[in-house]
Amino acid sequence: MPDRSEASLSPRPVSAGAPGTVPNMDAGQPAVEFRDIDIAYGKFVAVRDFSLSIRKGSFVTLLGPSGCGKTTILRSIAGLVDISGGQIMIDGRRVDDVPIYKRNIGLVFQSYALFPHKSVFDNVAFGLKYRSVPKPEIARRVGQALDMVRLPGSEKKLPSQLSGGQQQRIALARAIVFEPQVLLLDEPLSALDANMREEMRVEIKKIQKATGITAIFVTHDQEEALSMSDRIVVMNGGSVEQIGAPEEVYERPATAFVADFLGKANMLAGTVSKSDGTTAVALAAGQTVNVTSPRPLKPGSRVTVVVRPQKLSVGPAGGANRLSGRVVSTSYLGGSAIYEIDIGGKTSIRANAPINGRIVREGETIEVGFDPSSCVLLDENGQRIS
């Protein structure tokens, strides 16, 4: 089978901790595979050269800002968007020319899209009806699906009688009840309010694990992506920026875009001043910091030091690299506080630090520090140095 190292997914057990899931899944056969997909609307190219292979039973998130092509890719799996080049395979079967209603995929929409004139039962039973499942079996499986989304007994209700969160649960039940090969979720949480969103996040993940279904999730919300996914595909402008496990993408962003989009990292521009054993970078802001570089760098080359706000410790005790500056703003978050610190040279950095002792207020001078190993170096093109 294809060896696309940039795209192959983690060797994580397919259905870890989920009893009753399908055993013996062929690890070599990806559930969904994209080969050099191009999607264009007229002259506008929405997706360029997209390749990805998704392991059975995994939860993969397409993450990116609006217009990055993530929804387009999702819709191309469903058959709602035609691809202009490349191949899409589901379970090894090429589906580019298979009409949507024969693709056997479950689709959950941002706006729920429950049929407003049909009862909950008829909504959930819809997919089974078109698969010629006998009636008693339909009733049994609808009941099972409603149990799974924790809305048993709601068969007779109309969608309009349910809250947004309940509607989305029904939509989820409708999409999984016929055991599709892939479950596609198109920003399913963004129409919900914040509390409901968090609850549904956990719920969707639980159901995905319990059923062992392959899920592809589209979102622009980095928190959702980080908390739910086995793999995250970070996209920008129609192409892939990075593919990796959540912690990998967060801790070792491959590009400046990924570093900035996931968690707003501090990006400190500088020049390599010394490169024997440890690498020293003279920052544009004036200070010099020591960093760990995966390979020796030529003195004089321009780099960007990426440090997460959480990696900066505030106060005199922490970190090998010291930066001092004046606090421009303080946001108190309860357990921690976010400081914006002007370190000179028109550069300000953000530090998110737990509060021990007292909160530092605007106008005060503080020191922040970080370890040489807790940062990532980007070259002048914004690519991670490795």
Partner 1 sequence: MKPARRKEEGRWAWRLTGFVTLCVYIFMFAPIAATVILSFNASMFGGFPMTGFSLQWYGKLMANEAVLAAFRTSLWIALVTAAATTAIGVVTSFALVRFDFPGKQVLSTLVILPALVPETILGVGLLVLIKAVDQPRTLLLLVLGHILLAVPYVVLITQARMVGIRRVYEEAALSLGASRFSSFREITLPLLIPAVVAGALLAFTISFDNTSASLFWRPAGVETMPTQILSMLKISISPEINALGTVMILVTVGIPLIGGVVMQSLTRLRRRGEPKEEAR
Of the candidates 43, 102, 295, 358, which one interacts with partner 1 according to CB under 8 A?
Answer: 102
In angstroms, rounded to a whole number, what is the distance separating the alpha carbons of residues 229 and 207? Answer: 13
In angstroms, rounded to a whole number, what is the distance separating the alpha carbons of residues 364 and 370? Answer: 20
164 binds partner 1 (CB under 8 A): yes
Residue 143 has phi, psi (to 5 degrees) of -60, -45
66 binds partner 1 (CB under 8 A): yes
Q: Give the CB-side neighbour count of residue 278, counting CA atoms within 13 A.
A: 11
Contact (Cβ atoms closer than 8 angstroms) between residue 368 and residue 313: yes
Of the candidates 15, 53, 58, 71, which one interacts with partner 1 according to CB under 8 A?
Answer: 71
Q: Give the CB-side neighbour count of residue 355, counting CA atoms within 13 A.
A: 14
162 binds partner 1 (CB under 8 A): yes
Which residue's CB is nearer to partner 1, number 115 or number 332? 115
Give the three-state DSSP class for 158. Answer: coil
In whole angstroms, the minimum distance from the beta carbon of 70 to partner 1 comes to 9
In angstroms, rounded to a whole number, what is the distance separating the alpha carbons of residues 263 and 246? Answer: 12
In angstroms, rounded to a whole number, what is the distance separating the alpha carbons of residues 177 and 293? Answer: 50
Of the candidates 109, 139, 181, 221, which one interacts with partner 1 according to CB under 8 A?
Answer: 109
Which residue's CB is nearer to partner 1, number 66 or number 356? 66
44 binds partner 1 (CB under 8 A): no
In angstroms, rounded to a whole number, what is the distance separating the alpha carbons of residues 198 and 142? Answer: 25
Sheet with 85-90: strands ordered across: 44-54, 32-41, 85-90, 93-94
106 binds partner 1 (CB under 8 A): yes
Contact (Cβ atoms closer than 8 angstroms) between residue 287 and residue 323: yes
In whole angstroms, the minimum distance from the beta carbon of 26 to partner 1 comes to 25
195 binds partner 1 (CB under 8 A): no
Of the candidates 36, 82, 93, 161, which one interacts with partner 1 according to CB under 8 A?
Answer: 161
131 binds partner 1 (CB under 8 A): yes
160 binds partner 1 (CB under 8 A): yes
How many residues at the interface with partner 1, by CB under 8 A?
41
From 157-165, 204-212, 261-269, 283-291, give the range in contact with partner 1 by CB under 8 A: 157-165
93 binds partner 1 (CB under 8 A): no
In angstroms, rounded to a whole number, what is the distance separating the alpha carbons of residues 253 and 226? Answer: 13
Report how far apart the first and last C-alpha atoms of the chain are (Å, whole number).
Answer: 28
Return residues touching partner 1 (CB under 8 A): 66, 71, 78-80, 100-107, 109-117, 126-127, 130-131, 158-162, 164, 167, 174-175, 178, 186-187, 190-191, 220
